[in-house]
Structure 1
Amino acid sequence: MVAAMFATLLANTLLGIPLFLTLIVTALVGFAFVDPGMIARMMPQQFFGGLNSFSLMAIPLFILAGNLMNACGMTERLMRVARLLVGHLRGGIGHVNVVGSVFMSGVNGSAAADASALGSLLVPAMRRDGYSTAFAAGLTAGSSLIGPIIPPSIFMILYSAQTNTSVGQLFLGGVVPGL
């Protein structure tokens, strides 16, 4: 059974089949060796069981909030506030990058969303101010890693859902290290 599943995984990967289809086909091969009738009973149960988590509902809502912020211009407004706070310091646009990332982290909770939102705004601005593209991109990538630490964090919600720990306690524990 294990050899057949590994062979299926390897063959599908080498054929260039998308990863999600490769994993589904490999799982179906494994089910065929155990009990073919198990597929009809287990798949609906697993699909609906995965959707039945109240705390996981926050993840698509964070993504929606980030998209709405970009669409309505809130990201640019947050960058103006960050520029007012730290823009006057030496290397101000770099500080604006970090403070803007802290602001964005408090809204969407994702490092990837922070990097994409801030990268499109601040990397060109940093290049205009004389910073190299590599430095601007590196600072944006590094500062976006604050996202999973500062609440609300998608990873904290996933951790809470898997381990039955309090989301509120995780959020309280992430404030000081994030800041």
Structure 2
Amino acid sequence: MIGDPAGRRAFDEFVAARSPAFIRLAYLLTAGDQHAAEDLLQTSLAKMALKWHKIDDPAAYLRQMMYRQQISWWRRRREYVVADLPERPGADTTHDVELKIMIQDALGKLTSKQRAVLVLRYFEDLSESTVAATLGCSIGTVRSTAHRALARLLQLCPELHDLYLHSTFTARKEP
């Protein structure tokens, strides 16, 4: 646990500054289930607080912990729960909402590892080596998983094809 006041203050500042980004990550890792995302982040932060004084890179540590916690929960459930996308009045056109729903549905049909690779690589914009370190696998595994996951995503949601050709999904590989 965080024993000293300076450590507690540093942890609180980290949580305040980074929670919005990490709740978005959790939302994507849980295939759009807001309640599961909140549970995932809260559980991971609670575990992180126990080791706060030993952590060198809190963001990387929390990202890895969230991924591993989600995989652990998924293995216990062996099913996917896909929530409806939250509606924001006036924020999207009908086409955008329909596309988001199709994407969310398609992401929910990927394996949790495929979804994690896509989220970490393209949403979090992490390098292949950072994704590999976070997931505990090789860079080649990240590349092949991303390739298969993108192919499956395009198969499940053909409307993404034009978006795929002009987006960060065609991101550069590391040298």
Smaller-chain TM-score range? Answer: under 0.3
Return the structure number with greater relative CO, CA threshold 8 A, min gap 6. Answer: 2
Question: What TM-score do the two structures reach when normalised by structure 2?
Answer: 0.26
TM-score by length of 1: 0.25
